[in-house]
């Protein structure tokens, strides 16, 4: 008998709250322990438009929740946000489709397994030549448990 996704996510949240109360909190596994992020970027064109790819490599047996997730879904989807000092004129993220999971308890949702590539199109502010600072929020789960969500900082040249 397998546990529902809702039960798993609620258990992870309870564990996070329980662990945060004491010194054991530092030992709680976060989702970035099973996911690696490798950025690559094209040089900005003459107008400052730049294409960035973030390759997520997910350890076997784990998955990430695809973006977007269904309304009221208990998990945390992969989400990329701008985190730098010079805000770009435009910032668009193209999330891959993901693999559909059918779940009678939480409803259908999509996940990334193995690897996923996120494509960002950024229109840099005028005269912005510094690195692009991003944050990637994610939560890794198996069919039996979820790790604590993590936010990973990524710097792209």
Domain residues for the domain of 71 are: 5-156
Token pair for residue 18? 């329980």
> DSSP assignment, residue 77?
B
User: pLDDT, tens digit, for every residue of 77-132?
Assistant: 999 999 988 889 999 999 999 999 998 888 899 999 999 999 999 998 888 888 89
pLDDT at 98: 96
Percent above pLDDT 90 for the chain: 61
Token pair for residue 62? 């784990």
pLDDT at 85: 85
CATH number at residue 87: 2.60.40.1250
Domain total of the chain: 1
Residue 97: exposure state from Cβ atoms within 10 A (0-12, 13-18, ≥19): exposed
* Comparison of pLDDT for 25 and 98, the residue scoring more: 98
Q: What is the pTM of this model?
A: 0.80
Confidence of residue 139 (pLDDT cuts 50, 70, 90): very high
């Amino acid at each position: 008998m397998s546990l529902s996704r809702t039960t798993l996510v609620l258990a992870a949240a309870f564990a996070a709250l329980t662990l945060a109360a004491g010194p054991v909190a530092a030992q709680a596994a976060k989702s970035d322990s099973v996911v690696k992020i490798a950025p690559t970027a094209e040089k900005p064109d003459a107008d400052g438009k730049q294409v960035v790819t973030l390759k997520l490599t997910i350890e076997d047996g784990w998955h990430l929740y695809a973006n977007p997730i269904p309304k009221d879904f208990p998990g945390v989807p992969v989400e990329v946000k701008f985190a730098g000092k010079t805000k770009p004129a435009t910032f668009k993220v193209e999330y891959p489709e993901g693999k559909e999971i059918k779940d009678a308890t939480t409803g259908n949702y999509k996940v990334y397994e193995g690897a996923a590539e996120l494509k960002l199109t950024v229109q840099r502010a005028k005269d912005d030549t510094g690195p692009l600072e991003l944050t990637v929020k994610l939560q890794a789960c198996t069919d039996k448990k979820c790790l604590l969500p993590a936010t990973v900082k990524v710097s792209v040249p």
